[in-house]
Chain A
């Protein structure tokens, strides 16, 4: 005799439901391997990476230079094709870039001959086919104002600071209203102060969207990764890089930049990540003299 719960369903099935039919992930990678052809033969950047990212989650990909983080994110954005394995975004196989995934590049990639306004407008115009011209202008204005750059709308990228350029790039990615946001070392070129305020701004934008956007970010910066993310994916060194470990960041939101550094949970995670990433913590004068 099978036990039934109050709604008449088999209890065993109810328990097994999340396992048998998991909620749709925002991003799903199945054994993704990426290889490139080089003059010296095949170079494997990443090998058999599997990862699931829930909707509205913020995760960071962290690791040493050359470990394939950007390549891996490229398979989600569609700029890179996996050699083996599959990537699903919003339930569909990724075959190329799409309007459901917004990208913020490492080098901003703003078009220098267009004004700030037009850099965003041209992207909105290209992606949002079913909106009227008026609506596209409204979207552009809205997103520019969100990053506080409305008064600079007629300037050209050459007249902007690094932080401002990156805000334009972020506004551009947000403006096409993607469900997934992919950021490739977006704050790497910025000074520490600007970087700090950009973290807060990014979270503000994410909050304004009711925390529905999934964000994947590639970074070198441990503090940045912990402050922003729900989980931090630590990668091994390349070539043929794999995931070393995924570290949970169970810190409540909203997170406060000033206070968080004193939180013992934060400090634990920070130490853990340092330990995962760094082999040597100091140089031993006598023994390493010949290094």
Chain B
């Protein structure tokens, strides 16, 4: 909480120094209330902030969901087999650093559809942290645990469900946590490229099409809060599924 107050203080200072080009916290609060008025109104020209938020969340949800559905099994296989890891690792390392925004035009070419290309972009960049963390977890199962499976003749299925998955779960959740963070960051940038209703689009409208700086700050605050909530949820899950020996 103390950090928050320091941030507010710096903000007020910056506001004063730029002679209110950057609106002060108080002025922003007024605009915040105004924006939050009727958050779910659905006029064609003037949709509420709630609808914009939900639109962004929906895109992230689909892209992240699909990405995780691919990344987790792939990570389990990669971690479990040295050969497959050797083959796939270079591919992962080459594709991972590519900026998510570069995937957007590719998505557009494939789907010929802007919203789908956005989701494609989220899908691609949600893969990497989950994939890498999952395979790390599987590849680092302690010999002690493996010995149990070996000594008591566990079938492959039993080994996977009773040893591999429970051990890897905290790693998988860490990967998901990082992935959702990336996805949420990317959707805002992505919406600036693709148009369509959403928070990113909101920022674009206000920032580049001569709108209110205060509204940009409001958008930033909302984006930040949502990101924080995601992180808290996954951190809680991570702690719940980590076992001490």
Contacts and interface: CB of A to CB of B under 8 A. Distances in A.
Interface of A: 77, 79, 96-99, 103, 105, 107, 109-114, 122-123, 125-127, 156-158, 172, 176
B144 A127 contact: no
A109 B147 contact: yes
Interface of B: 144-145, 147-148, 150-155, 158, 162-163, 166-167, 243-245
Contact of A126 (B144, B147, B155, B166): B155
Given A111-B162, A111-B166, A113-B243, A126 B150 contact: no
Given A126-B154, A126-B155, A127-B152, A109 B144 contact: yes
A176 B148 contact: no
A157 B245 contact: yes
A158 to B, nearest CB: 4
Given A105-B147, A111-B148, A113-B243, A127 B163 contact: no
A126 B144 CA distance: 17
Interface centre among A105, A111, A123, A158 (most CB of B within 10 A): A111
Contacts of B148: 109-111, 123
Given A109-B147, A157-B245, A97 B152 contact: yes
Given A79-B147, A114-B162, A126 B243 contact: no
Given A79-B150, A125-B158, 19 more contacts: A99-B153, A105-B144, A105-B147, A109-B144, A109-B148, A109-B151, A111-B148, A111-B163, A112-B243, A113-B243, A114-B166, A122-B162, A123-B148, A127-B152, A156-B243, A157-B245, A158-B244, A158-B245, A176-B152
Contacts, number: 56
Central interface residue in B144, B145, B151, B155, by most chain A CB within 10 Å:
B151
A211 B38 CA distance: 81
A125 B152 CA distance: 9
A109 B150 CA distance: 12
Contact of B150 (A97, A99, A122): A97
A205 to B, nearest CB: 18
A122 B145 CA distance: 13
Nearest to A165: B245
Contacts of B145: 109, 111
A278 to B, nearest CB: 31
Contact of B244 (A96, A99, A112, A125): A112
Nearest to A107: B144
Nearest to B159: A126
A16 to B, nearest CB: 41
Contacts of A79: 147, 150-151
A115 to B, nearest CB: 11
A126 B163 CA distance: 13
B166 A98 contact: no
Contact of B153 (A97, A113, A114): A97
A112 B162 CA distance: 11
Contacts of B155: 126
B245 to A, nearest CB: 5
A123 B166 CA distance: 16
28 contacts: A79-B150, A79-B151, A97-B152, A98-B153, A99-B153, A105-B147, A109-B144, A109-B145, A109-B147, A110-B245, A111-B148, A111-B162, A111-B163, A112-B243, A113-B243, A114-B162, A114-B166, A122-B152, A123-B148, A126-B153, A126-B155, A156-B243, A157-B245, A158-B243, A158-B244, A158-B245, A172-B152, A176-B152
Nearest to B149: A126
Contacts of A107: 144
A126 B158 contact: yes
A79 B243 CA distance: 26
Interface centre among A110, A112, A125, A176 (most CB of B within 10 A): A112
Nearest to A99: B153
A112 B245 contact: yes
B53 to A, nearest CB: 37
Contacts of A158: 243-245
A125 B159 CA distance: 12
Nearest to B165: A113
